[in-house]
Amino acid sequence: MKLEGKIALVTGGSQGLGRAIALKLAEHGADIAIAYVGPEKPALDTCGEIESMGRRAKAYICDVRDEAAVNNTVKSVVQDLGKVDILVNNAGVTRDGLMVSMKDEDYNMVLDINLKGAFHMIRACYRDFVRRRSGKIINISSIVGLVGNVGQVNYSASKAGLIGLSKSVAKELGSRGICCNCIAPGFIETDMTKNITADNPLLMQVPMKRMGSPEDVANAALFLASPESDYITGETIRVDGGLAT
């Protein structure tokens, strides 16, 4: 699954799943643009690791809720690296709580970053993908977008929305040779799940009886970014150890 000559833009690419995906795509030949918010050091460290592989890497601070910031970031990536071939919408947050007590601002923030942010990014890349009649869009959803979860109505809605968004984009752009797919991770070892213990009742429902690794998700992203998946679009690949089966 060679990606030489490809440019990948990964949102939320400085840490966690985004970092693992960025490193995996770089390992297979892609140059990487990282869009991030928060501390600069993790983004620069990730870029340094990518550059040590002999690939180009640049980090761009970008709040995906801000349409103007997204448009400017995509323009900068094209100016700096030449184009965008692969878009990975990974940026996401949680603001958990029971629906009855959930604040509107917590609901809106999660939808705006997780779902509307992906919409902004896809729209910013849309015309160039169409012009070149190629492109891979990978949206990081979640199994809670498929099955729901107590205390996560906002997160579940945003991740379910990503699946619907991806199916629609796949139908709009399929005739132009552009693929749009989702990955739905389950329990993956990241900062978001660091408090889940081995005896957690939800984890015990996983047929494989363990968490997955960021590498597991990155491997799925590599496949969807590669030519080997050129006839797959509108699909959601679960990486969940069988939890949502």
Of the candidates 40, 43, 39, the residue with the CA atom closest to the CA atom of residue 11: 43
User: For residue 181, how far is the Cα from the chain centroid?
Assistant: 10
Of the residues 36, 126, 155, 231, which is catalytic?
Answer: 155
- At residue 184, the 3 state secondary structure works out as strand
Cα angle 153, 155, 156 (rounded to 5 degrees) comes to: 65
155 assigned to active site = yes
Q: How many CB atoms are closer than 10 A to CB 227?
A: 10
- Please report which residue ranges of 82-239 form alpha helices under DSSP H: 104-111, 117-132, 144-147, 153-173, 201-204, 214-225
User: For residue 78, how far is the Cα from the chain centroid?
Assistant: 20
- Spatial separation of the C-alpha atoms in residues 136 and 3, rounded to whole Å: 12
Active site residues: 155
